Chain A
Amino acid sequence: MKLSEKTKETLLGPLNANNPVVVQVLGICSALAVTVQLKPALVMGIAVTIIVAMSNVIISLLRNSIPMRIRIIVQLVVVAALVTLVSEVLKAFAYDVAVQLSVYIGLIITNCILMGRLEAFAMSNGPWDSLLDGLGNGLGYAIILIIVAFFRELLGSGTLMGFPVIPEWCYQHGYVNNGMMMMPAMALILVGCIIWAHRSINKEEKK
């Protein structure tokens, strides 16, 4: 299937040029909370992608019937219902994952990316475009989460996905894990570094 220029932009734009985290600076709060280790960051990224895509489609289908004055409430109800459904289904069929995500599933409701995309895109575009937009933004969010979690887990605990990767002799020669990486503040600094790198690369492209 060949994607038209506009569709491509809708799907792939949020991955780089219009990334929800580093360009629109949305969803920072959860990016700080779940990035201590790679695994929860990965699962959170997938969960957000699915929920943004689904709620985008639903709101897009309803967009002409939603009363303007309560549109935020309608969006919130749709998102909350979806998150509750996902959490119930996980508890029934993937209990281990549900336990591991615990509070993070609930956190999805408060993720600004969801409300942002619903309000800015799904309210004024068709279901197909909204699906792509949701997938794109979810993945854009997931990429940043994974990059941040990669560095925090590597430098903070010397592991990746829970497996030790820093060889034992490094520790014997005085290498110490950086406990600061465990603090939420370091995630903010890392996101700052990513934004810096991202801006300077994109500036060159524009020239």
Chain B
Amino acid sequence: MKKLDTNNNVYTIVYAAIMVVIVALLLAVVSSALKPKQQANVELDRKKQVLSSLNIDIKQVKNVDDLYSQVISEQELNGKQVFVATIEDGSVKYIIPMHGAGLWGAIWGYMALNDDKNTIYGTFFNHDSETPGLGGEITTRDFQTRFNKKHILGDAGYAVEIVKGEAAGEQVQAISGATITSKGVETMINTTLEEYKEFLSDKPSEAVESEESITNNEEEAE
């Protein structure tokens, strides 16, 4: 067999063209063949994340799809997407989806509120590309549970405050060494709460009354 002249211009161009077509076809076929399975995975992962914000240990759950359809109903309240969850003891929780920016890339999360729309029941955070061991720690339960039982309605409206060092009262302790990611989480929560203001302040009449009576009592006591 005559040895190929691999330095020939025409040969080079034809070779490159054929190679690119083959690779493109291969990738296109694989991509479209695997797409349904990938989307199912993404959807399953989203459901897991929503459930995680209810302090459910997702690793213990055998059938995520079943649990999700049992517990969560996706609703639009006051023009905003809200996941309404009815948990085991029968109480209702509102889960708000959040999106923001960390140090290197996107961060997102879900915040579950009690039906007073003020007390945080649970949170879940995840990230694209934060530094493992530093900003990446926002995915740990240790960080996420720091928000539990805190109140989002304070003097400055609907907001949480993440602080360095020891946290007092309604403050949440930041992750040491990950100031920018912690700030990102704070900004993400506060912008989302701002957007959900209408939903948050739209309380069922009962709840409003009881809250008013509490404030009245406090005033009277003073």
Q: Is A193 located at the chain interface by the 8 A CB criterion?
A: no
Give the Cβ gap from B219 to chain A, nearest Cβ, in Å.
47
A156 CA to B38 CA, complexed, in Å: 35
Beta-carbon contact of B12 and A99 below 8 Å: no
Residue of B nearest to A40 (CB): B132
Within 8 A of B (CB), among A115-171: 153, 156-157
Beta-carbon contact of A91 and B12 below 8 Å: no
Beta-carbon contact of B45 and A99 below 8 Å: yes
Q: By DSSP majority rule, is chain B's interface helix, strand, loop, or mixed?
A: helix
Residue of B nearest to A153 (CB): B133
Q: Is B34 located at the chain interface by the 8 A CB criterion?
A: yes
A141 CA to B57 CA, complexed, in Å: 36
Give the Cβ gap from B101 to chain A, nearest Cβ, in Å.
16
Give the Cβ gap from A154 to chain B, nearest Cβ, in Å.
12
Q: Which one of A3-11, A14-22, A46-54, A64-72 contacts B?
A: A64-72
Q: Is B62 located at the chain interface by the 8 A CB criterion?
A: no
Beta-carbon contact of A92 and B37 below 8 Å: yes
Q: Is A196 located at the chain interface by the 8 A CB criterion?
A: no
Beta-carbon contact of A103 and B30 below 8 Å: no
What 0/1 pattern do residues 5 to 29 of B give for CB contact below 8 A with A? 0111001100110011001001100
Give the Cβ gap from B28 to chain A, nearest Cβ, in Å.
11
Within 8 A of B (CB), among A72-99: 73-74, 77, 81, 84-85, 88-89, 91-93, 95, 99
Beta-carbon contact of A179 and B128 below 8 Å: no
Q: Is B41 located at the chain interface by the 8 A CB criterion?
A: yes
Give the Cβ gap from A132 to chain B, nearest Cβ, in Å.
26
Q: Is A60 located at the chain interface by the 8 A CB criterion?
A: no
Name the A residues within 8 Å of B8 (CB-CB).
67
- Given A36-B131, A67-B7, decide whether A88 and B30 contact each other with a Cβ distance below 8 A: yes
Q: Is A182 located at the chain interface by the 8 A CB criterion?
A: yes
Q: Is A102 located at the chain interface by the 8 A CB criterion?
A: yes
Q: Is B177 located at the chain interface by the 8 A CB criterion?
A: yes
Residue of A36, A40, A74, A85 touching B30 (CB-CB under 8 A): A85
Beta-carbon contact of A88 and B177 below 8 Å: no
Residue of A36, A64, A70, A84 touching B12 (CB-CB under 8 A): A70
A92 CA to B131 CA, complexed, in Å: 25
Beta-carbon contact of A92 and B177 below 8 Å: no
Beta-carbon contact of B16 and A93 below 8 Å: no
Name the A residues within 8 Å of B134 (CB-CB).
182
Q: Is B168 located at the chain interface by the 8 A CB criterion?
A: no
Residue of B27, B42, B131 touching A81 (CB-CB under 8 A): B27
Name the A residues within 8 Å of B26 (CB-CB).
81, 85
Closest 7 CB pairs of A and B: A95-B41, A67-B12, A92-B34, A92-B37, A36-B133, A36-B132, A81-B23
Sampled A-B contacts (21; CB under 8 Å): A36-B132, A64-B4, A65-B15, A66-B6, A67-B12, A69-B12, A70-B12, A70-B16, A77-B20, A77-B23, A81-B26, A88-B27, A88-B31, A89-B30, A89-B34, A91-B41, A103-B128, A179-B176, A179-B177, A182-B131, A182-B133
Known: A81-B26, A182-B133. 16 other contacts (CB 8 A): A37-B132, A37-B133, A67-B16, A68-B6, A69-B12, A77-B19, A85-B30, A91-B38, A91-B41, A92-B34, A92-B41, A95-B38, A95-B45, A103-B129, A157-B133, A179-B176
Residues of A at the B interface (CB closer than 8 Å) are 36-37, 40, 64-70, 73-74, 77, 81, 84-85, 88-89, 91-93, 95, 99, 102-103, 153, 156-157, 179, 182
